[in-house]
Structure 1
């Protein structure tokens, strides 16, 4: 197990996949943010603002930037600029993030790409579900009013559930629920730790970047944070897949052994 795990972790493909995933996530988030600012009801925009503040602890200049994007007074101008067709195009193009996440899950398990006809609706469903999860971040991180004593374990449980469902959905049910659990737990731990870290680090970093470099600094800081998050998820899914295939977890989880011989999937070559 150790040799397999070491080989997978030192592979350049993991970091490449994480970087591509982060880039696709950023390219998906920006147009979706403007589309929601233009077309979402006022209550949804307010909830989104509160959730983003809860996620990143936004204060000062960075919070003002967010308020400008989601300001109700700018919604009409955004609708004229974006248009319904533009919003639909933004949603469709954002599924590239879903496709990148699916490839991360498939590489973790050594599976070939699933057919577009089978997986296409899953990309959209996953993206919409992720938007709902983002909208619920403010009450979730407050423990739905109960405070931090409930918020932290609740956030971990929800994160683990989201990443378990994510793998099962995007892998098109080719791997059972239980074998996916180690990767989901590791991803839940990673996102919980990063969620706590973001509230401490991101406010100062975003405000410094805005003060020194303007909007470009904001973009670079957010992209850097996304790379860390996506690298954590990529490593978590990969480590979880290796652990689930090795004893003793494979016995308890009922993980099928890695195919060998003529039925084994071909190894992927590093992408250039």
Structure 2
């Protein structure tokens, strides 16, 4: 009589392997459309081009705005901005000295040179960053450009709110003196809320709040993670650049950091659109079908 126990065991093993392979193939088939949609989304957003343009606009916005703040803001506000920059970038040594010189107490000549008209022109020109970010949001959510009457005032509001947020970043990151772990939590919550509000504002309220939440969480988390990681490598890089190239080294290093920052922002917002249209999340968030 022939013993088929070995053959039966082998057949069972092969069946299990086949079922496992089929399950893996099914899971892969489910993931591939998401990966394909995500890749197409990054192409539609023009990821590298958008992040580079945003970094350049943010830098061109930051320089004149910082000089205006240094000329007209109270000393307490200037100190808070230096503190926020120190926390965000881990400034120390020569790099910190360069920033402190910018925010040093201005004389009357500086104020007279700037003037009220100069402040207004600076703020209006500084909205170039918010306009560029608006285009990223519209590309990510595949909505047509908003009319000037609908969106123009939102550019200035976005800029002023973010300036106010930057002033308190140092306090948030320190947990208002209660500890770094509380500060990390507060930074995550505030960053998520700011990027949630940013999308809704710059899209002209044409997309509901809930569908924008995945992008806000991804962007807020990515920005906080980048700021945390920057504290380990950016101070040495900044100081070395300043020592070798002077203020120009500070410019190049900060511009590179801004490109990395806005790459995180563009990826977060664009990926949020794809996630919000995934069937499980779309039902919960009430995401309208893509046009």
Deviation of 1:2 (Å): 2.6
Query: Which structure 1 residue ranges, 5 or more long, are not aligned?
Result: 260-272
Q: How does 1:187-226 map to 2 (within 5 A)?
A: 187-226=219-258
| Equivalent in 256, 261, 267 of residue 235 of structure 1 | 267
Deviates more, 1:217-226 or 1:77-86: 77-86
Deviations 1:151-191 (A, max 9, x none): 11111111000000000000011111110000000001101
**After superposition, where does 1:233-272 map in structure 2 within 5 Å?**
233-259=265-291
SS at match of 2:127: helix
1: CA distance, partners of 2:143 / 2:170: 36
1:64: which partner in 2?
97
Corresponding position of 2:82: 49
8 Å contact kept, 1:179–1:254: yes
Q: Distance in 2 between matches of 1:139 and 1:76?
A: 30
Match of 2:136 in 1: 104
Q: Tell me the residue number matched to 1:159.
A: 191
Q: Deviations over 1:72-125 (max 9, x none)?
A: 1x3434213322222211111000101011111111101111011110111000
Taking structure 1 as reference, are residues 75 and 195 closer, same or farther at Cα in structure 2, changes over 3 Å only? farther
Residue of structure 2 equivalent to 1:183: 215
Q: Match for residue 263 of structure 1?
A: none
Is 1:18 the equivalent of 2:72?
Answer: no
Q: Secondary structure at the match of 1:71?
A: coil
Matched, 1:128 2:160: yes
Comparing 200-209 and 164-173, the one that deviates more? 200-209
Higher-Rg member (1/2): 2
Larger deviation, residues 23-32 vs 198-207: 198-207
Q: Alignment partner for residue 147 of structure 1, among 179, 190, 193?
A: 179
- Indicate if the aligned counterparts of 2:277 and 2:289 stay in contact, CA closer than 8 A: yes
The runs of 4+ residues in structure 1 deviating greater than 4 Å are: none
**How many residue pairs align between the two structures?**
258
The separation in 1 between residues aligned to 2:196 and 2:221, in whole angstroms, is 13
- 1:84 is matched with 116
Give the TM-score taking structure 2 as reference length. Answer: 0.86
TM-score (norm 1): 0.92
Query: SS state of the match for residue 114, structure 1?
Result: coil
Q: Deviations over 1:134-153 (max 9, x none)?
A: 00111000011110121111
Q: Is the 1:37–1:78 Cα contact (8 Å) retained in structure 2?
A: no
Of 41, 59, 65, 1:8 maps to 41
Matching residue of 2:71: 38
